[in-house]
Amino acid sequence: MPLYEYRCEACEHEFEALQKMSDEPLVHCPACDEATLRKLVSAVGFRLKGDGWYETDFKSGNKRNIADSDSSSSEKKPKATSSSNSSH
């Protein structure tokens, strides 16, 4: 369940509430009991940091660099030369 941050517009009391996403937003302030709570926009509770979350993370062997191998394999195709075509 996500944590939501609230601030009372009457007394400026701030707090966090653990709620289901389907729950109605809170309205009454626990400090002054006024119906002036507003849900705040806040940062998420986790970060993706460090090595990882790339295309190549879960690949092994020759499948390791798919993006690089696609572009390099098209460059390595043999080109037809005029000498090989003139013998026919």
- pLDDT in the model for residue 81: 55
Whether 21 is in a domain gets the answer: yes
Whether 17 is in a domain gets the answer: yes
Both tokens of 40, joined, read: 């705040």
Q: Residue 36, class by beta-carbon neighbours within 10 Å (0-12 exposed, 13-18 middle, 19+ buried)?
A: middle
Whether 68 is in a domain gets the answer: no
Under 8 Å between Cβ of 11 and 35: no
Whether 22 is in a domain gets the answer: yes
State the total domains in the chain.
Answer: 1
Model pTM above 0.75? no
Whether 62 is in a domain gets the answer: no
- Better-scored residue on pLDDT, 18 or 45: 18
pLDDT in tens, 33-70: 999 999 998 776 666 666 666 555 555 556 555 555 55
pLDDT for residue 32 is more than 90: yes
Q: Residue 17, class by beta-carbon neighbours within 10 Å (0-12 exposed, 13-18 middle, 19+ buried)?
A: middle
